[in-house]
Amino acid sequence: MQPTLFDRLNSLFFNTTMRQITAALWFAALAFVPHKAMASMEFRESRLIVEAEDHDCATLKGARAGIEMRNRMSLRASAINRGGDTYDIHHYHFNLSLTNTSTAIAGDVMFRSTVTSPVMDTFWFELRSFMNIDSVQINGIRYLPSTLSRLNDVVRVPLLSNLDAGMQVTCRVFYHGTPPSGGFFSGVSSAASQTWGVNVTWTLSEPFSAPDWFPCKQDLWDKIDSIFFDGTSVSPNKVASTGLLIGVDTLTSNRRKYKWRSRIPMAFYLMAFSVADYTEHLSWAHPTALANDSVLIQHWIYNANNSSGNSCLNFNRNALNSTGAMIENFSDLFVLYPFHTEKYGHMMAPLGGGMEHQTMSTMGSFGMDLIAHELAHQWFGDMVTCANWNDIWLNEGWASYCEYLHRQYLVSQTSASDWMNSTHNSARSATTGSVYVPASGITNVNRIFSSSLTYKKGAAVLHMLRNEIGDDSLFFPAVREYLQAKRHSVATTDEFRQIMEQRTALPLQNFFQDWVYGEGHPTYNIEWNWRDSVLWLQMSQTVTAPSATPVFRNKLPLGLITSGPGQAPSVIQVEPALGLQRIRVPRQVANVTLDPSNAILKGTSSSISRLATLGVGLEGLNIQSFNPYPNPGHGTLKVDLISSADLLLTDLSGRHIKIYHGHEGKNQFDLNVPAGTYLLEAIFSSGSRAIQRIVIQ
């Protein structure tokens, strides 16, 4: 998903109390960097400039929304996954009457499920209170509204007879209503495109808006095996949705029913529709893995001209036709497009950004990065879905990083590098806060979809993980193994880490702890010197969130400019957390550059310079001899030192715990400290320092 700044601001009004609005707006202005597609409350088209008065309009519209809208948003958290372990959904069949000029919905939704609790005496589903239930049928028995209970948007149906585990349940809900439209994160919106003059009604259910428009169970773990969607509207409207279009029925009163079918597992928030006067444009992708076959790409674009007389299709044709090459590229890098037996497509709507509905993304515009982002979600988010909203970076960080990968492989490295520079600028704006959404943030839409953390820093972390692994012949196969292992299922951050570790045979716990669960970023200060075939490096770092992440232990690339006989690498990887290091480099080192390809997220004041005295008198020092063990340990700590040193033990907040005085040779110290993670710094008599993290069990 790619909401714009004003869409995020809009949703703030429906996730906070009036007392919190001023503070929330200030936070949003700091935390969210707008995508290049921007839109205001009135769903202005992304290519228009947002003027200053839009802020006033946003404030007024948020105030006019009223207490009822704010209340319904505040109740969403209480309904999420309620009773999610009592049944497993298998199939949905929608039969809805729709219009392109309002959010009005009428019809019925049937879903089949299997009882998973030992005994079920009450069936439940989620549906907002503004949607009127006409009746509910469960296994053919009709229940009138008077027999139902509704609390906090959860509808409960007391069953006439109990159902046992393993029994099948068919629930059919007849309902109607007009959901309110409250911005980007509304379940249903209806608006006119100011550029093309087309009225559109569309849905967007992520993360908590599915009950705005259909009876559902908001459980990321319970993917639906198949979804049939029948949408009826008055001609010339067309109803777009997920899956394959198997037919269009002509009905009375100039109505047409569009019948879509998907038989591939889908998360609850990825089903969708849009209604407008569309024209269809078809293109195809030809992934290598499909040999002589192809992937259908079905674009539903406004059937309209702009004020210059140019049709919407012609205006966007080149961008639309670029989608095929993106599918081919991502299929080569990862796995074959996961929905190739159905389709990929776009359904246009006047929202600022896009939403990755499975097989049919809803798009406000067709910029290169936006197309790549929403397409990439078909792998990261749709095929493999985050297991919890804490893990949303697995969806959005990957989709964002695929913008870089598209540029790198199909445009140019210069274009990709420019993208990463911009991404780092955005990620640096979040000096605290983790990529992983903490428990306190999983009911806050704006924290879940933080641009600087979830999207930009998430993408930067994946690029750094690629550098940490250091070999694309390991990195991409590991990603492919992750996608295959969690195919059409859900994944946690820890599962992603474990699979990457298993496939690459590299320990990645420290990297994930620092960069995914940790906060902030480092600023490096590096001094270097080359003497007698040895490159000396003295490295230090300051961090933006020392109480959360006192040191970052990732690899850092250094570029070498060398001369003279022998061979030397042009780029070496060092570990800044280790302090003083020496590396044998036979050729004379004339200069050392810091992170020449800008692979690492770091402070803009990071520096590297030559110190001619570095290494003088230290030739005999074995830097690697500072090796605390066992680690993890318990009770005692052993440290081998080639020269005497003071050993400073601190906790992760920087508080001094103990000082040990070590001598040359083997040392053993009584720890006698609580279990936890600590930093042990060796301060040698020469003035050099080294630091390592130790775990006490």
Identical fold for domains 522-610 and 623-696, yes or no, is: yes
CATH, range 83-181+223-268: 2.60.40.1730
For residue 679, pLDDT beyond 90: no
What tens digit of pLDDT does each residue of 239-248 get?
A: 999 999 999 9
Q: pLDDT confidence of 329, banded at 50, 70, 90? A: very high
Instruction: Please give the pLDDT value at position 559.
Output: 97
Instruction: Please give the pLDDT value at position 53.
Output: 28
Q: Which range is least confidently modeled, 50-64, 167-181, 311-325?
A: 50-64
Give the mean pLDDT of 156-170.
97
Write the single-letter amino acid at 240.
A
Q: What is the chain's mean pLDDT, rounded?
A: 87
Instruction: Please give the pLDDT value at position 95.
Output: 98
Per-residue tokens: 5: 């700044």
Instruction: Please give the pLDDT value at position 625.
Output: 54
What tens digit of pLDDT does each residue of 188-208 get?
A: 999 999 999 999 999 999 999
Give the mean pLDDT of 15-40.
34
CA-nearest of 485, 505, 504 to 495 is: 485
For residue 356, pLDDT beyond 90: yes
Q: Quick one: which H or E segment has residue 354?
A: strand 353-355
CA-nearest of 395, 98, 11, 451 to 272 is: 98
Instruction: Please give the pLDDT value at position 47.
Output: 28
**Domain-by-domain residue ranges, the chain?**
1-74, 83-181+223-268, 381-519, 522-610, 623-696
Alpha-carbon span 402 to 476, nearest angstrom: 13
Name the CATH superfamily housing domain 381-519: Neutral Protease Domain 2 (1.10.390.10)
φ/ψ (deg, to 5) at 86: -95, -20
CA-nearest of 389, 122, 177, 150 to 267 is: 389
Instruction: Please give the pLDDT value at position 223.
Output: 97
Q: Is 399 helix (H, G, I), strand (E, B) or coil?
A: helix
Q: Is 334 helix (H, G, I), strand (E, B) or coil?
A: coil
Return the axis-axis angle of helices 472-485 and 458-469, rounded to nearest 10°. 120
Alpha-carbon span 239 to 276, nearest angstrom: 7
Q: pLDDT confidence of 630, banded at 50, 70, 90? A: confident
Please report, for residues 87, 482, 497, 550, 555, the alpha-carbon distance to residue 494 in angstroms, rounded to integers and kept in the order given: 26, 12, 5, 22, 20
CA-nearest of 227, 193, 181 to 72 is: 181
Instruction: Please give the pLDDT value at position 63.
Output: 30
Give the mean pLDDT of 102-110.
98
Instruction: Please give the pLDDT value at position 161.
Output: 95
Q: Which range is least confidently modeled, 29-33, 93-97, 140-144, 513-517?
A: 29-33
Please report the DSSP string for 26-39 in residue order. HHHHHH-PPPSS--
Q: Quick one: which H or E segment has residue 405?
A: helix 393-406
- Class at the top of the CATH hierarchy for domain 522-610: mainly beta
Q: pLDDT confidence of 646, banded at 50, 70, 90? A: confident
| CA 210 from centroid of its chain's CA atoms | 19
Q: Quick one: which H or E segment has residue 60?
A: helix 53-64
CATH topology of domain 623-696: Immunoglobulin-like (2.60.40)
Alpha-carbon span 414 to 423, nearest angstrom: 14
Q: pLDDT confidence of 685, banded at 50, 70, 90? A: confident
For residue 181, pLDDT beyond 60: yes
Instruction: Please give the pLDDT value at position 4.
Output: 59
Contact 258, 123 (CB under 8 A): no
Task: Please give the order of strands across the beta sheet that includes 278-285.
Answer: 2-3, 353-355, 361-363, 344-348, 295-302, 278-285
Give the mean pLDDT of 450-469.
98
Contacts of 148 (CB under 8 A, 6+ apart): 133, 136, 155, 156, 157
User: How many other C-beta atoms can be found within 10 angstroms of the C-beta atom of residue 425?
Assistant: 13
Contact 268, 224 (CB under 8 A): yes
CA-nearest of 241, 488, 239, 202 to 343 is: 241
Instruction: Please give the pLDDT value at position 653.
Output: 65
What tens digit of pLDDT does each residue of 263-301 get?
A: 999 999 999 999 999 999 999 999 999 988 999 999 999
